Amino acid sequence: MSVITEIFGFKKAIEKISPDYFKSHPSLLELLATILLLFMFKGIFYAFLKDVKSSIYALVAWLLYLFWYVYSIKKSEVAVYLNGITQVVEDFPKYIFSRIRSLTIKSVIFGCDKSSTTEKLIEQLYLDYGTFNTLISNKKIEKLYVGGLCRIPFLCAYGAFFHNISAEIVMIEKFHDGKWTFLNDKTMRSQKIQIDTVNSKLNSDNEIALLVSFSLPIDISSIPSKLQNSYSHMYVKNCSRNLFMDTKSINQAVNTIIQEIDRINSTIKPSIIHLFLSVQTTVALKIGSRIQSGMHPIIQIHNFDAQTKSYPWSLKIMPMETDIKSKITLINN
């Protein structure tokens, strides 16, 4: 029944009355859509008893509408899944969609499996950039669903793909129960973000670091020694792997991070800002999407190795470059 109510657009029509309310009460939305559907079928049944020929025309029209509905989803919506830290290449978790959408939506897989070297991952990123540009060149694409599991620097790099595109971007997150889900539109819990700027000054190389401790606390001694006295540190009191559960909180957190990058760039004027990020997937993706040419200096995003408790490699993003191989480069520390 859920599939049919979606096909006829009942759910979408009812949801427009109060989007936030019905997203928080999906059972009520389903009930109201089902009632409308039953009334429609009742009308068709009585019409069939009175005029068989007209009812057949109505059935043909409905089948044509069904074909158009499925075709429109296939052409206007794409699911993008990012691989990088799993043993095998995974596909987009389509179980988060309704049945009809999961059968029709096109999915695109970016990245490689866990066994791939960082050199192979960066080469794949270059290839994925070409694929992505071909994908969005189709102006009919209205919505992109994005999710995946990658190293933080690659999440930011892939996030840069989404800068300045017209399609609506809907990000998904993997929570503690191991299942993927859409982020809630309502604020689930507020977090007070604090910033320590005591050591916010340039080092001898005219560089500075920005540490963001949201998922886990970052140990200052783990970052390169040349930056241990030149950094700003953004943090919350109680770190958590899924700290932000809703879109509004994530956007506010990313805005705070970008504002600190802007402050550092305008007042301290470094040649490079080094990012050490302990954040969830959606935050990293959105940070990457907000790095802009003309507004930000070179951004170098470092990858943490839990075994060595150090940052052995990083990705350098040069916002002013247009060629992808010059814009994003791998740096082995």
User: How does pLDDT run across 6-17, given as a tens digit for each residue?
Assistant: 544 555 555 555
- pLDDT beyond 60 at 24: no
- Is residue 125 within 8 Å of 253, Cβ to Cβ? no
User: How does pLDDT run across 58-91, given as a tens digit for each residue?
Assistant: 666 666 656 655 555 556 788 999 998 766 678 8
Q: Name the pairing type of β-strands 77-83 and 106-111.
A: parallel
- pLDDT beyond 90 at 328: yes
- Is residue 105 within 8 Å of 97, Cβ to Cβ? yes
- pLDDT beyond 80 at 232: yes
CATH 3.40.50 intervals, the chain: 75-182
**Spatial separation of the C-alpha atoms in residues 306 and 100, rounded to whole Å:** 41
User: How does pLDDT run across 128-165, given as a tens digit for each residue?
Assistant: 999 998 888 766 788 899 999 999 999 999 999 998 88
CATH, range 75-182: 3.40.50
Least confident residue range of 44-53, 87-96, 169-178: 44-53
Name, in order, each residue with C-beta under 8 angstroms of 215's C-beta and a sequence gap of 6 or more: 239, 240, 241, 243, 278, 279, 280
Both structure tokens of 181: 């889900």
Neighbouring-strand partners of residue 209:
231, 274
Confidence band for 3, pLDDT divided at 50, 70 and 90: very low
Give the predicted TM-score (pTM) of the model. 0.80
